[in-house]
Amino acid sequence: MADKAVTVALVGNPNCGKTTLFNRLTGANDSVANYPRVTVAAKVLAIEHRGWTINVADLPGIYSATSASSEERVGRDFIHFGAPDIIVNVLDAGNLDRSLFLTTQLIEMGRPRLLVLNMIDEARRKGIVIDIPALAVMLGGPVVETVGSSGGGIGALLDAIVDLAESAPSARHPGIAYDPHLEAAITRVRCMIAALHPGNLSPGQSRWLAIKLLEGDEDILAREGDHTLLIAAVGRERNELARTHGQDCEEMFAHARYGFIHGVLAEARSQPMGADVAADPTQMLDRIFLHRILGLPIFALLLWLMFEATFRVGSYPMAWLEAGMKWLSDHIAGFIPAGMTHDLVIDGAIAGIGGTIVFVPNIVILFFFMALFSETGYLARAAFLMDRLMHPFGLHGKAFIPLVLGFDCNVPAIMATRTIESARARLIAILITPFMACSARLPVFILFAGAFFPDWAETVVFGIYATSILASMAAAVVIGKLVVHGGNEPFVMELPPYRMPSARAVLFHMAERGVNFLHKVGVVILIGSIIIWFLQEFPRDVPSSRDWGAAIAELSAGPAGPERDQAVAALDNAHRQERLEHSYLGRISVAITPVFAPLGFAWRDTTAIITGFMAKEVVVASYAVLLSQSRDSEGAGLRAALAGTMTPVVALGFMVFVLLYAPCFSTVGAIWRETGSWRWAAFSIGFSFAIAWALAFVTVGVGRLLT
Amino acid sequence: MSWEIWDVAVVTLIGAACLWLVVRRVRRFLDRAGGPCCGCPQARKCAKEDRL
């Protein structure tokens, strides 16, 4: 009798050949049939191999670890409460799409596991080729091929069990990244569970319990029934998720798991184009969208179409809003007597708000497309393509999850990196997120592209977004090679099945972004605009280089005509320029401007850059306030006024700079919190500033050479 | 009272209010700096629900 013992549980879907395998392993002769649910209770037999006693438990076939039927409860309870040392997950090699669903739940249980690709002979006959090492890495456990009916691979399976028993426990969790809202709910429920069961549960166990509760597992809900606060909180979370996503929690978990499976199989399996592939729309569409050659051009084309629509369709409501803001400004101007209050309200608050609010339609349209891409499942494919593109550079795609979320806002994108297990990959993801063109930067790009490149504005914005993606990739490589050392972690990009988008979810996403932007306009941009106005208006008794009043009066007294009017306007403008340059804002900006002189930026641009640190939308508000006196109306007037302040080449350099320079106030806070160190927040500011300056310098330099 | 005096009073009041809002925002940021809620857009909602 061997003195070392290990208990293994054979777990798998009904009819995947567990009992055949059990009989082969133990020499038993239990009844086997080619239909599901032959086993209805756990049966345990002991065998010996390489000096180990292996207690093999044959469990009823289950499709999921959520207790729907009594057999599923038997299987799930044996795994979770019977505590086998090793889980042997038996998979039908010819039907991995379905078999791996249970695997995703076993991964979450965090037990040491071994995967058995049973009936591998049948899979090969179908022309299916499986990359075993890749599958092992992505699923976090050894993989063995067996043919239960002939006993093929049984020796290798026994060896793998003993090897796993002899090795240190390392059930590495490759991680299933759920929707950020779902992850936030899991974290909140997990914290409550940890507080209710102090010291009893590991973080992995409390996470599993939180997932089961959110999934509505009746058995687990009944077990935790005494904790009324917890049950009530779970109910609230489920209702809130259902309200915001238009689908049940169970569906959300299932979609994420199937997405994970699809991602694993896209990497590790190739199969011929058979009837089953042709009948599956997801597989058919993936053959097009994930095509090795066509995939990226299709992605680029869709991005370009998105910006084309953002510009073309957005230009109509934008014009209405511009006219509305002008009407409002004119009417309010009529009510307030001339003086400082008049200037503060008209040239400060309304100019700043009006200059920014006109971009709400563009933002809403952009997010309509983003929501459409996300809801249909295409966004995950885009991230998958990026992941594949980065493989030659030795960098895995998990660092690119913020690539997708960062288009929205950098702060939740940085928070979403919590799903990345590897500290190195997470730090890289946090540090590259600020390079993603968040929606706050969109108004800047639309304003500049419209002002300097009116004929191909959408192509310029598309180019800026492409630069954003490329810069984040380059930054990931640089940070990975030079700053954060270490090996790469295996990674699975979840690929959810394609779905018809839900109108409710798309509208909710658009409304959320629109309201978010309006909230910023009402708070940050309003305050920012007023402060900029104060700084540009004071001090009022600045020394003059000449008596401007007398000079203007002298010119005005001359013979009337367009030349006189032009000369008076030029003199008036020069007077205003001098006053602005002597204002507090002018003095601060003039002091900093030498840093930006090689890029061709003037003091006004420096001001916009400084204020943009508060929030990137304030860049537009800054120009709106600074140019308010030299333009006739909002929007189009702002573009026209801006067009005269710099050359198109410098404008392009400015767009590149705004795209990449220091993250905003909130993002710095998020980096500080998530890395736990102000040093990384400071590094992010310095690193992004250096990259932005260098790339803007190159853009302006090359542009000047070409023009 | 002449409009000039009102004018100065209104502008001073608005300026002071903005300054106060900025100082409050910066103080909040520094209070949470490095803490679990630093930069979190949900922080105010959590504070209202007494979940901090």
Q: pLDDT tens digits, residue range A391-441?
A: 655 555 555 656 677 777 788 778 767 666 677 777 888 888 899 888 889
C-alpha A633 chain-centroid distance: 37
pLDDT for res A36: 37
The predicted-structure confidence for A535-586, as pLDDT tens digits, reads as follows 888 887 777 777 888 888 888 887 778 888 888 877 877 887 788 888 888 8
pLDDT for res A380: 78
Residue A679, in any domain of the structure: no
Residue A98, in any domain of the structure: yes
Q: Judging by beta carbons within 10 Å of its beta carbon (0-12, 13-18, 19+), is residue B31 exposed, middle or buried?
A: exposed
Residue A665, in any domain of the structure: no
Residue A441, in any domain of the structure: yes
Q: Name the residue among A1, A4, A205, A19 with its Cα closest to residue A85.
A: A4
Of B7, B37, B41, the CB nearest to A341: B7
By the 8 A CB rule, do A509 and A409 touch?
A: no
| Domain co-membership, A361 together with A493 | yes
| Domain co-membership, A220 together with A361 | no
pLDDT for res A489: 56
Question: Which chain A residue shows the shortest CA-CA distance from B30?
Answer: A669
| Domain co-membership, A145 together with A199 | no
Which residue range is the domain that position A245 belongs to?
A: 180-272
CATH number at residue A152: 3.40.50.300
Of B4, B22, B29, the CB nearest to A669: B29
Residue A687, in any domain of the structure: no
- In chain A, the number of structural domains is 3
| Domain co-membership, A367 together with A438 | yes
What is the ipTM score, two decimals?
0.79
Output the 3-class SS for A461-508: HHHHHHHHHHHHHHHHHHHHHHHCCCCCCCCCCCCCCCCCCCHHHHHH
| C-alpha span between A254 and A105 (Å, rounded) | 10
Domains of chain B: which residue ranges? Answer: 3-48
List all residues of chain A from 341 to 380 with a beta carbon under 8 Å from chain B. 341, 344
| Domain co-membership, A66 together with A150 | yes
| Domain co-membership, A489 together with A614 | yes
- Beta-carbon contacts below 8 Å between A and B: 62
Query: Is A339's Cβ below 8 Å from some Cβ in B?
Result: yes
| Domain co-membership, A342 together with A463 | yes
pLDDT for res A320: 92
Which regions in chain A score pLDDT beneath 50? 1, 31-40, 171, 632-635
- Ordered DSSP codes for A109-173: HT--EEEEEETHHHHHHTT-EE-HHHHHHHHTS-EEE-BTTTTBTHHHHHHHHHHHHHSPP----
| Residue A73 backbone phi and psi in degrees, to 5 | -65, -40
Which chain A residues are Cβ-neighbours of B15 within 8 angstroms?
A: 530, 534
| Domain co-membership, A257 together with A352 | no
Residue A662, in any domain of the structure: no
| Domain co-membership, A141 together with A215 | no
Tell me whether residues A527 and B22 touch, CB distance under 8 A.
yes
Which chain B residues are Cβ-neighbours of A531 within 8 angstroms?
A: 18, 22
Q: What angle do CA A178, A184, A185 make, to 5 degrees?
A: 95
Q: How many residues does chain A have?
A: 707
| C-alpha span between B38 and A666 (Å, rounded) | 8
Tell me whether residues B40 and A665 touch, CB distance under 8 A.
no
Of A344, A665, A678, the CB nearest to B34: A678
pLDDT for res A196: 80
Question: Which chain A residue shows the shortest CA-CA distance from B23?
Answer: A527
Of B8, B14, B38, the CB nearest to A673: B38
Segments of A259-329 assigned E as strands: 269-270
Strand pairing report for A113-118 and A86-92: parallel
Residue A661, in any domain of the structure: no
The predicted-structure confidence for B1-52, as pLDDT tens digits, reads as follows 688 888 899 999 999 999 998 888 888 777 766 555 555 555 666 555 554 4
| Domain co-membership, A210 together with A306 | no
pLDDT over 70, % of chain A:
88
| Domain co-membership, A450 together with A517 | yes
| Domain co-membership, A337 together with A464 | yes
Query: Is B31's Cβ below 8 Å from some Cβ in A?
Result: no
CATH number at residue A195: 1.10.287.1770
Tell me whether residues B38 and A670 touch, CB distance under 8 A.
yes
- Tell me which of B4, B5, B6, B7 to substitute to probe the interface with A (most A C-beta atoms closer than 10 Å): B7
pLDDT for res A600: 92
Tell me whether residues B18 and A673 touch, CB distance under 8 A.
no
Question: What Å distances lie between residue A123 and A102, A120, A388, CA to CA?
Answer: 19, 5, 26
Residue A308, in any domain of the structure: yes
Of B3, B10, B14, the CB nearest to A530: B14
